[in-house]
């Protein structure tokens, strides 16, 4: 199967605890390759647009506040079946439901401060990658 790409964010709770390397190692150990990476402080406008699908949800304002509360690391990951592979190693959104050995089970603090984001489909991966990266910033 050909290599595919997905989009990942290492969230502010993880960068605050200096876990960028630890999280990235778990991604790499799961067979994913980091082909683009940058540390940014998301603006409120970026967070609101990125999470626009959740605009009507009760947690939207808190989510935007959290995602702009500190630096994040946005990454493009490449590998066989990258979207599923990444979702498997991330674990369930709520760390209470995440399987042993997953990033969220290991590091997440709560359903909001859950250490990582990953695209939920190939279509959204393309949209999310293009939201943060120019083609020349991705080096496979
Ligand atoms: P993420 O994959 O980044 O996509 C949306 C985020 O909303 C999700 O991870 C959670 O961190 C966050 N969130 C906060 N509260 C909730 C909730 N009650 N249900 C689902 N997601 C939530």
Give, using CA atoms, the residue closest to atom 3 of ligand 1. 117
Mean pLDDT, residues 7-24: 99
Query: Annotated catalytic residue: which of 11, 87, 104, 117?
Result: 117
pTM, 2 dp: 0.98
38-91 pLDDT, tens digit per residue, is 999 999 999 999 999 999 999 999 999 999 999 999 999 999 999 999 999 999
94-135 pLDDT, tens digit per residue, is 999 999 999 999 999 999 999 999 999 999 999 999 999 999
At residue 24, the pLDDT reads: 99
For residue 116 the two structure tokens come to 């990582």
At residue 84, the pLDDT reads: 98
For residue 46 the two structure tokens come to 């970026």
**Residue 117 is a catalytic residue:** yes
Locate the ligand 1 atom nearest the alpha carbon of residue 11 and give its number.
3
CA of 114 to the centre of ligand 1 (A): 8
Whether residue 93 has pLDDT greater than 90: yes
Judge contact between 77 and 34, C-beta under 8 A: yes
Could you tell me if residue 116 is left (phi over 0), alpha (psi between -120 and 50 degrees) or otherwise beta? Answer: beta
CA of 57 to the centre of ligand 1 (A): 10
DSSP assignments along 65-129, one per residue: HHHTSS-EEEEEEEEETHHHHHHHHH--SSGGGPPTTSHHHHH--SSSS-SEEE-SSHHHHHHHH
């Amino acid at each position: 199967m050909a290599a595919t790409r997905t989009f990942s964010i290492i969230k502010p709770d993880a960068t605050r605890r200096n876990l960028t390397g630890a999280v990235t190692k778990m991604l790499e150990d799961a067979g994913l390759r980091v082909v683009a990476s940058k540390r940014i402080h998301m603006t409120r406008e970026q967070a609101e647009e990125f999470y626009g699908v959740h605009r009507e949800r009760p947690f939207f304002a808190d989510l935007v506040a959290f995602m702009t509360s500190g630096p994040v690391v946005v990454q493009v990951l490449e590998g066989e079946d990258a979207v599923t592979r990444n979702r498997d190693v991330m674990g369930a959104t709520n760390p209470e439901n995440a399987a042993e050995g997953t990033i969220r089970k290991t590091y997440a603090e709560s359903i909001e401060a859950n250490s990582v984001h990953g695209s939920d489909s190939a279509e959204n991966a393309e949209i999310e990658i293009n939201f943060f990266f120019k083609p020349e910033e991705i080096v496979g």
